[in-house]
Amino acid sequence: MKGTLYLCATPIGNLEDITFRVLRILKEVDLIAAEDTRNSIRLLNHFEIKTKMTSYHEYNKVDKAVFLVEKMKQGLNVALITDAGTPGISDPGEELVRQCLDADIPVTSLPGACACITALTMSGLSTRRFVFEAFLPYDKKEREDILVSLQNETRTIIIYEAPHHLKKTLKECRNYLGNRHMTICKELTKIHENKLRGTMDEIISFYEENEPRGEYVLVIEGKSRQELRKEEQEDWIKISLEEHMAVYTEKGINRKEAMKLVAKDRGISKRDVYNALLSTDMREQ
């Protein structure tokens, strides 16, 4: 029989946040694959877990996944843990999961701590819909592309950042997203856990006077649908009604339906569109 891959969520700070089920599985499996064995040994020692460990990280994720999959094909059960939080969320675990599924090896996830969800739920911002970007890429062009794609994002945005990059990232977000409201959380579940709420300008100003320390989660409000609609209307108003109508009629949409779409785009009534077009036709005659 094939073994199973267990994705085991570990605490992001407070050791009391580990679950009974994770502790049991870590003791029962044949092998624990850890992102940083030096970091994870402290966790295992604290809970008196003697299971053998092996390293699994960003720089060996493909080849080591092949090795681990082979072990599971032979019947060994493997637990995957990250430095902190839930494996597979912004870490190399996704590669191992993919290879296991391709090899028809059972994969199950043991839920627990996750920094992005912890920050979101305590942010005071909308939790119904959100987008998680993790750490923004270092590549300048790729970073810019992502920030541009977020400009009209209506969902709450979650970004991770290290202290030495925080000021730069906040200023970039301000330049691309505008002066939105946000909550910035640091050292989640730890002794010095803290959150700061305000506009981006207020938070940038705070960190100009206070040096960032600790690991941060940025939770940024999405653009309101009303604001987005207003901006779209302003873009349409820049062209004439005739040009606007042509956008739809050239796609084969009949004139009556095109007037409905133009009215909706511009935030006016269909009658207003009809009267304006009629007036133009009469002047041209």
- The amino acid occupying position 42 is R
Task: Give CA–CA dist 115/121, Å, rounded.
Answer: 10
Model pLDDT, residue 51? 97
Q: How many CB atoms lie within 10 A of CB 223?
A: 18
pLDDT at 234 over 80: no
Q: What is the pTM (predicted TM-score) of this model?
A: 0.80
Task: Give CA–CA dist 108/145, Å, rounded.
Answer: 34
Q: How many CB atoms lie within 10 A of CB 105?
A: 20
pLDDT band at 269 (very low <50, low <70, confident <90, very high): confident
Average pLDDT, stretch 9-13? 95
pLDDT digits (tens, 9 = 90+) for 164-180: 999 999 999 999 999 99
pLDDT digits (tens, 9 = 90+) for 98-111: 999 999 999 999 99
